[in-house]
Amino acid sequence: MTATGIGAPVRRKEDQRFVTGQGRYVDDFNRPGQAHAYFLRSPHAHAAIRSIDTGPATIMPGVIAVFTGDDLAADKIGGLICGWMIHSKDGSPMKAGPHPALAQGKVRYVGDHVAVVIAETLAQAKDAAEAIVVDYDVLPAVVDTAQATKASVQVHEVSPDNTVFNWHLGNKDETEAAFARAKHVTKIDLVNNRLVPNPIEPRAAVGEYDFGTDNYTLYTTSQNPHVARLVLSAFIGVAPEHKLRVIAPDVGGGFGSKIFIYAEETVCVWAAKKVKRPVKWTSDRSEAFLSDAHGRDHVTHAEMATDENGKIIGLRVHTTANLGAYLSTFSSSVPTYLYAPLLSGQYDIPAIYCEVDGVYTNTAPVDAYRGAGRPEATFVVERLVEKTARELGQNPAEFRRKNYITQFPHATPVIMTYDTGDYAASLDKALEIADYKNFQQRKQESARRGKLRGIGFSSYIEACGIAPSQAVGSLGAGVGLWESAEVRVNPTGSVEVLTGSHSHGQGHETTFAQLVSDRLGISIDQVSIVHGDTDKVQFGMGTYGSRSGAVGMSAIAKAIDKVIAKGKKVAAHVLEASEGDIEFKDGRFGVAGTDRSMAFGEIALQAYIAHKFSGQDLEPGLKEGAFYDPTNFTFPAGVHICEVEIDPDTGVTKIERWTAVDDFGVIINPMIVEGQVHGGIAQGVGQALLEGAFYDESGQLITASFNDYCMPRAIDLPSFQVGMTVTPCPSNPLGIKGCGEAGAIAAPPAVINAITDALGHEDIAMPATPQAVWRAAQKARMPMAAE
Amino acid sequence: MYAFEYHRPTSVKEAASLAGQAEDMKFLAGGHTLLPTMKLRLAGPSNLIDLGQIAELRGIERSGDTITIGAMMKHAEVASSAEVKQAIPALAEMAELIGDPHVRNRGTIGGSIANNDPSADYPAACLALNATIITNQRKIAADDFFQGIFTTALEEGEIITQVSFKIPSQAAYAKFRNPASRYALVGVFVAKHADGARVAVTGAGSNGVFRVPEMEQALSGNFAPEALDGIAVSQDEMNSDIHADAAYRAHLVGVMARRAVQAASARG
Ligand SMILES: Cc1cc2nc3c(=O)[nH]c(=O)nc-3n(C[C@H](O)[C@H](O)[C@H](O)COP(=O)(O)OP(=O)(O)OC[C@H]3O[C@@H](n4cnc5c(N)ncnc54)[C@H](O)[C@@H]3O)c2cc1C
């Protein structure tokens, strides 16, 4: 291993430019002759558009053009797509309503795109947008997830009762049988609150068209620029794939919300050609609240069956998932295949059956948000396991331990085959770090001060490293989920790695370089990571689902292996030995059993000068590419323990201790991994205590700014105690499982389990705001009054 | 933001005269309320008169039993003022609880008071500390100044120049922050003066900042948390939103009042 190799807590290379203000984000790109786009958005949640009069706007100062959905239709620009086909129980395909980039005849949520003004300045575009006259026939709106199918309001004609699909997974008959013979059944009703992603950098796009070459360029805030190019060309049809370059430069956080292909970037590319000028749009925070795809929003009833020995024998779940007004790019997969396959948790549950009804409402589209389906599943499993243990009078840690899966591989009744893990090891370590044995003492001490102390567990599992292409294809995905890499060795021995992964906060420029450093025995300073440009990287699937380590780096490892193999051939020529005698070790190619060797950089130079190559059997150059398709998902898992103290007078919940013990397999950079854990927990705590997107009955977003939408701040969080256990992942060459989403997945049930433990009853929903906790604490104090 | 004319007077007199001539004008202090509303196009004054260059509006001065603060003094300046800390530590602490460092280094006492946001902190301090709001035209008792949410006794074009607080023998401010905005969900300022106690509540009332006579009476007799036992404010005049309904706010007024008295007493 080199000092900058795998396992070293190397400082992030990219931070120099980020913390000194040298990062270049989409909004930093200003193209010659650039005009500005401003989108007129619907103020109504649901309305028919009788007419749009753009006339008064077009004569305003600085206005270049005003476009509506009719203009897109006239140019045969297609609607936005959902790339994952879900079939209902009866075999029928999901009901996908039209999703035009600019409204055609109807608006379906507050923030829906009605028209776009292109002007010399943004202020002029805004002024002109105010002059557009839209005649709306305002319709009643449906907002509530649980009521969506019963409403008289119809969001899309294709779905009279607002159902997108009635999907199911698992073994129904066996599950019914398990419940029939159960000794005890625990029931729970849960709401997984709707969240607004809120990356620091809002979305942005610059579209550009070159009349000389007929080439289009889109600068965009994307987690997966190649997928954006594919969708924009093959499905929406704004430009041919080979003529469209998509650049996703520095991107300031995504959390899923920048995976999707949105209306604004589509319009910017299209409009750039129409107005013969580069067109820029940058979302402001208000637009981000209204129009970034939201996350979560499930209403669930779940039941867990246990036998006379306290073993879990069955789980049945019914979930209604709000998908919003339109199906966003991967929305249909989130509450189905990214959700139900995780319902077995870390437990050996022989029978599981899950039904999910996806519904339309007049709200912003809902799609993947950090964890995507897995936090929702973990919330169901871990709340239910905790409640079951309490009802059975068992210690929640020991109840979990008793039901853990211990033999691997383990096939669950819901698709997944877990490859490896040691759940008890994580539990033991977490109990120790959390000083669980002295918890009762701390609880009594709190009680003496009039405070309520509680402790909550979350024994989570997730499926990452998304995903084997054949598997996801059979489940309805429109794409394969492999990754690509190209390793280019320069004559000086420095290395450029072109990757299809995309870094928007993850630190790939460091961790990917560590892999190269480790394998080739060179310093990370000799390595550049190139990503986020379809003209440089041939193709890639992007970053989400904690896949960049397990899949993206595996592709790089594969390409490095090819580089080393080629290097051996070069060395054989140069060192005049047979190829079979060449060894590569500690950054040197040497002849076995001799002291003859050459450094990696020297061989690189030889590969390019090719003076010693005889004949045609060896090509000059040192550059190799690889595509890597994983053979399985990866299964990071761990135990988080949250300890809270509640002030019953005010309802304030203070997190006193947080223990996180995670098994992420092999770790490339422990410092970066800890950072991911911290950030994930912060987001999970945000969901549990602070964040919630609420619409009123008419479909207005009440929490449409930071004044009302509460993001977690440092002061809301304790100092985290992070521990690791390691079982290397057997299904990829690096043993990596992934760590990007774990905290956000683990945290919410840990918090709520701690609060319910402190209160002594289960009646609290997320976000557990001071008001909600105060009310619940009142109920705890007066059990009679609660009846 | 809509386009506007920008003016930068260097004296109160010049500012007042500009205000008299300019149509549809607004004074600009720290801009932390005004500029966001302009950016969102909720406000669009044609003329903006920046008070930032007027030296007369600055300074902190103690004389006798009052401390007088210039209208353009920033929250951070009040929070860190040795004079304020010594005379009315509760006032310095209150200023330290406003927003975040950015806000405290831009927002001003004059702007806060002129704006009279129902969740702002200064209005409670003004009532509890029996303040006098000094303008370029007159002196207004705090009790007469705050007239309901975002409404004050200020006339069109009238400029707050200073605010003068009575120095109490004991005082404290207890703030329950709105989790999202960090403004006061409920803030209670209590002060013990020679002529009796004052209790002022911000954040909670549907009509803005208010005093609680029952609590004042009880505390005037016995300035101790127990004196407040059994005293509750009515839910009827409480604000209600997604963060806190009227019942919760009314409850918090009681809790915060007791905590404030306790803190004031602990200070001695
Ligand atoms: C993120 C954030 C958090 C905040 N948190 C809090 C909080 O916790 N507690 C709190 O109390 N406040 C809070 N504030 C408000 C802030 O502290 C300021 O007090 C407030 O914005 C008003 O002061 P300003 O100097 O910014 O006034 P401006 O925004 O410049 O002006 C506000 C209004 O007052 C008028 N005005 C200003 N000065 C004068 C004057 N001298 N005479 C007459 N009229 C005048 C202006 O014309 C305008 O109408 C917060 C603000 C922000 C942006």
Closest CA to A717 of A684, A691, A692, A693: A684
Dist CA B115 CA B101 (whole Å):
20
Is domain A31-139+201-252+258-291 in CATH 3.90.1170.50, yes or no? yes
Closest CA to A484 of A568, A551, A402, A408: A551
Dist CA A608 CA A494 (whole Å):
13
Could you tell me which residues come within 8 angstroms of residue A554 by beta carbon, excluding any fewer than 6 positions away? A483, A628, A630, A732, A733, A734, A736
Residue B102 burial by Cβ neighbours in a 10 Å radius (0-12, 13-18, 19+): exposed
Omega cis (within 30) before A767? yes
pLDDT confidence tier of residue B267, bands split at 50, 70 and 90: confident
Dist CA A482 CA A552 (whole Å):
8
**Is residue A185 a contact partner of residue A305, using CB atoms and an 8 Å limit?**
yes
φ and ψ of A397, to 5 deg: -70, -45
To the nearest 5 percent, what fractions of chain A are helix, strand and coil? 30, 25, 45
How far apart, in Å, are the Cα atoms of A551 and each of A14, A231, A554? Answer: 21, 22, 5
Angle CA A298–A302–A306, to nearest 5: 155
A161: tokens are 């009762």
B252: closest CA of chain A, how far (Å): 7
Would residue A62 be called left, alpha or beta, if left means φ above 0 and alpha means ψ between -120 and 50 degrees? left
* Domain formed by A419-464+633-787, architecture: 2-Layer Sandwich (3.30)
Contact state of B251 with A774 under an 8 Å Cβ cutoff: yes
| Ligand 1 pocket check for B99: Cβ under 6 Å | yes
Angle CA A251–A739–A709, to nearest 5: 55
| Cα A295 versus chain centre, distance | 10
Type of residue found at A678: H
Type of residue found at A258: K
Q: Which atom of ligand 1 is nearest to the CA of B181?
A: 3
The owner of tokens 């002060």 is B191
| Cα A515 versus chain centre, distance | 23
Interface of B with A in 4-43 (CB under 8 A): 40-41
Q: Note the ipTM here.
A: 0.96
Interface test with B, best of A130, A194, A708 (most B CBs within 10 A): A708
Q: What's the CA-to-centroid distance between B188 and ligand 1, angstroms? A: 19
Residue A188 burial by Cβ neighbours in a 10 Å radius (0-12, 13-18, 19+): middle
| DSSP at A25 | B
What is the reported pLDDT for A615? 75
The answer to whether B165 faces chain A, any CB pair under 8 Å, is no
| Ligand 1 pocket check for B123: Cβ under 6 Å | no
What is the reported pLDDT for A786? 36
Dist CA B119 CA B107 (whole Å):
15
Closest CA to A743 of A669, A666, A683: A683
Closest CA to A63 of A134, A135, A115, A103: A115
Which run of H or E residues covers position A57? helix A55-58
DSSP B149-194: TT-BSPPTT--EEEEEEEPPSEEEEEEEE-TTT-SEEEEEEEEEET
Strand partners, A319: A300, A356
Dist CA A610 CA A608 (whole Å):
5
CATH pick for A482-628 out of 1.10.10.10, 3.30.420.10, 3.30.365.10, 3.40.710.10: 3.30.365.10
Interface test with B, best of A713, A771, A775 (most B CBs within 10 A): A771
Could you give the residue range(s) of every CATH 3.90.1170.50 domain in chain A?
A: 31-139+201-252+258-291
| Ligand 1 pocket check for B134: Cβ under 6 Å | no
| Ligand 1 pocket check for B104: Cβ under 6 Å | no
Name the residue facing B181 among A651, A707, A771 (closest C-beta).
Answer: A707
Dist CA A297 CA A356 (whole Å):
13
**Average per-residue pLDDT in chain B?**
97
Dist CA A38 CA A267 (whole Å):
11
**Is residue A175 a contact partner of residue A314, using CB atoms and an 8 Å limit?**
yes
What is the reported pLDDT for A782? 60
Query: Domains, chain B, ranges and CATH?
Result: 1-54 (3.30.43.10), 170-267 (3.30.390.50)
Fold of A140-193+294-418: Aldehyde Oxidoreductase; domain 4 (3.30.365)
B238: closest CA of chain A, how far (Å): 15
Dist CA A516 CA A627 (whole Å):
17
Could you tell me which residues come within 8 angstroms of residue B156 by beta carbon, excluding any fewer than 6 positions away? B19
The owner of tokens 């990062």 is A23
Could you tell me which residues come within 8 angstroms of residue A565 by beta carbon, excluding any fewer than 6 positions away? none
**Is residue A145 a contact partner of residue A80, using CB atoms and an 8 Å limit?**
no
Dist CA B267 CA A656 (whole Å):
28
**Is residue A109 a contact partner of residue A363, using CB atoms and an 8 Å limit?**
yes
Question: In chain A, what residues touch B186 (CB-CB under 8 Å)?
Answer: none
- Length of chain B in terms of residues written: 268
Name the residue facing B179 among A286, A649, A710 (closest C-beta).
Answer: A710
What is the reported pLDDT for A617? 85
Dist CA A292 CA A196 (whole Å):
8
Could you give the residue range(s) of every CATH 3.30.365.10 domain in chain A?
A: 140-193+294-418, 419-464+633-787, 482-628
A309: tokens are 């020995």
Dist CA A520 CA A90 (whole Å):
54
A263: tokens are 């209306």
B87: tokens are 């005379």
- pLDDT over 60 at B246, yes or no: yes
What is the reported pLDDT for A171? 96
Contact state of A123 with B1 under an 8 Å Cβ cutoff: yes
Torsion angle in degrees (nearest 10) through CA of A704, A710, A714, A715: 140
Angle CA B195–B198–B199, to nearest 5: 170
User: Furthest-apart CA pair in chain B: how many Å?
Assistant: 56
Type of residue found at A570: V
Helix (H, G, I), strand (E, B) or coil at A190: strand
Please state the pTM of the whole predicted model: 0.97
**Is residue A745 a contact partner of residue A680, using CB atoms and an 8 Å limit?**
yes
Q: Which residue of chain B is at minimal alpha-carbon distance from A130?
A: B41
Residue A561 burial by Cβ neighbours in a 10 Å radius (0-12, 13-18, 19+): middle
B72: tokens are 């353009």
Closest CA to A357 of A314, A299, A295: A299
Share of chain B above pLDDT 70, in %: 100
Interface test with A, best of B100, B242, B259, B262 (most A CBs within 10 A): B242
**Is residue B203 a contact partner of residue B186, using CB atoms and an 8 Å limit?**
yes
Ranges of residues in chain A whose predicted pLDDT is under 50: 783-787
- Taking only the tens place, the pLDDT of each residue in B126-177 is 999 999 999 999 999 999 999 999 999 999 999 999 999 999 999 999 999 9
Task: Give me the total of CB pairs closer than 8 Å, taking one residue from chain A and one from chain B.
Answer: 40
